Amino acid sequence: MTPTKVRVMDTTLRDGSHAIRHRFTKEQVHNIVKALDEAGVPVIEISHGDGLAGSSMQYGMSLVDEFELIEEAAKTSKNAKIASLLLPGIGTRKELKQAKDCGISMVRIATQCSEADISEQHFGLAKELGLETVGFLMMAHMLSPEDLAKQAKLMESYGADIVYIVDSAGTMMPQDVTARVKALTGELKVPIGYHAHNNIGLAIGNSLAAVEAGAACIDASTSGLGAGSGNTQTEVLVAALSKVGCETGIDLFKIMDAAEYIVQPMMEYPMTINRDALTIGYTGLYSTFLMHAKKAGEKFNIDPREILLELSRRKAVAGQEDWILDVAAELANR
């Protein structure tokens, strides 16, 4: 049975940051947060696309210091919770404390799906700081539902208030999503969330499948702005959930207007499933590799799909962005 309420977390200002090369300005953050907050979005995530302290040569430099942007978001929001993403190993205790001082009230702690054990201390500190905590299991297609549930249990035992199944590659079929949501809801006491990418055209369908299977929280991005082919579109999700009798508390017309008039003019390209993004979805590769592979392809005059296929053969995961140039150079020398 479809639940009657779903908590939508909007990641335009975090996952969307990948799609504009981490170039959000303070004014853009102000306008997006104001529009989403007025539309009734309950949670707004903001940080570098790769989480706190992600700004670097490896992941891409932010135009504006993310703490200034977080502060602006917290100052602007009247009702929405402000959240940041943190990947242990990239973000540290120092940045988590600083983000809390800038006004976040939720942290989403992300690990590769088989490495939940590296997040224990981060959950501990987040709890000490009084933050609501989310565990974010990336590349969740790489584990069976049973093994994923074991990792989710670990995050729950460390203090996660919610655990997310993250389809970082946009590669899951609806039945993969259903099986994973059911495995986690069967084992955990805390609510389960789902985060989609649209590389194989299923972000909305899979989000509905997740809700139908018992997920209580769904990630979305206004106009779909996000890595790869983008995320579940917030405005489309609100409409689709309403059609199956599920309330989000978000005003449909206001979120449509935010997408059309605030976010779309900021986009560098429309969120489409082009051949490179589809290669990511088809092979199950990390969505954020798309931009890096395109750049490396141009540099070495190679089809980015060849680079992506080779990375997929090597089972590259989040954090291995430095392999992309190596692979491109190797292919160019063959």
Ligand X SMILES: C[C@H](O)CC(=O)C(=O)O
Which residues sit at the interface with ligand X, rule CB under 6 A?
15, 49-51, 87, 110, 138, 166, 168, 195, 227, 287-288, 318
- Find where tokens 């993250």 sit: 166
Supply φ then ψ for residue 43, to 5 degrees: -135, 130
Taking CB positions, which residue lies at the least distance from ligand X? 168
Our CB check for Mn ion shows the closer of 15 and 45 to be: 15
Instruction: Measure Cα distances from 157 to 131, 189, 190 in Å.
Output: 16, 10, 10
Residue 167 known to bind ligand: no
Our CB check for Mn ion shows the closer of 15 and 235 to be: 15
Q: Based on the shown chain and the rule CB under 5 A, indicate whether residue 310 belongs to the binding site for Mn ion.
A: no
Instruction: Enumerate residues 6+ apart whose C-beta is below 8 A from 265.
Output: none
Q: Which listed range, 8-16, 21-29, 255-263, 264-272, lies at the site for Mn ion (CB under 5 A)?
A: 8-16
Q: Based on the shown chain and the rule CB under 5 A, indicate whether residue 45 belongs to the binding site for Mn ion.
A: no
Instruction: Enumerate residues 6+ apart whose C-beta is below 8 A from 78.
Output: 37
Our CB check for Mn ion shows the closer of 15 and 71 to be: 15
Residue 15 known to bind ligand: yes
Smallest separation (angstroms) from ligand X to the CB of 135 = 13
Residue 287 known to bind ligand: no
Residue 197 known to bind ligand: yes
Asked whether the beta carbons of 255 and 285 are under 8 A apart, the reply is no
Q: Based on the shown chain and the rule CB under 5 A, indicate whether residue 167 belongs to the binding site for Mn ion.
A: no
Bridge partners, residue 43, by sequence: 9, 81
Asked whether the beta carbons of 296 and 324 are under 8 A apart, the reply is yes
Residue 286 known to bind ligand: yes
SS3 category, 178: helix
Residue among 10, 15, 37, 95 that touches Mn ion (CB under 5 A): 15
Smallest separation (angstroms) from ligand X to the CB of 203 = 11
* Burial zone of 66 (CB within 10 Å; 0-12 exposed, 13-18 middle, 19+ buried): buried
Q: Select from ligand X, Mn ion, none the partner in contact with residue 95, using the beta carbon and a kind-dependent cut-off of 5 to 8 Å.
A: none
Our CB check for ligand X shows the closer of 35 and 203 to be: 203
Closest listed residue to residue 40, CA positions, set 222, 267, 260: 222
Q: Select from ligand X, Mn ion, none the partner in contact with residue 138, using the beta carbon and a kind-dependent cut-off of 5 to 8 Å.
A: ligand X
Q: Based on the shown chain and the rule CB under 5 A, indicate whether residue 72 belongs to the binding site for Mn ion.
A: no
Asked whether the beta carbons of 306 and 290 are under 8 A apart, the reply is no
Smallest separation (angstroms) from Mn ion to the CB of 160 = 18
* Whether 18 is catalytic: yes
* Helices 275-283, 289-300: crossing angle, 10 deg rounding: 120
The DSSP code sequence of 120-176 is HHHHHHHHHTT-EEEEEEESGGGS-HHHHHHHHHHHHHHT-SEEEEE-TTS---HHH
Smallest separation (angstroms) from ligand X to the CB of 162 = 15
Q: Based on the shown chain and the rule CB under 5 A, indicate whether residue 10 belongs to the binding site for Mn ion.
A: no
Closest listed residue to residue 331, CA positions, set 315, 319, 313: 313
Our CB check for ligand X shows the closer of 248 and 287 to be: 287
Which residues make up each annotated binding site for substrate? 14-15, 168, 195, 286
Which residues make up each annotated binding site? 14-15, 168, 195, 197, 286
**Which residues are catalytically annotated?**
18
Which residues make up each annotated binding site for Mn(2+)? 15, 195, 197
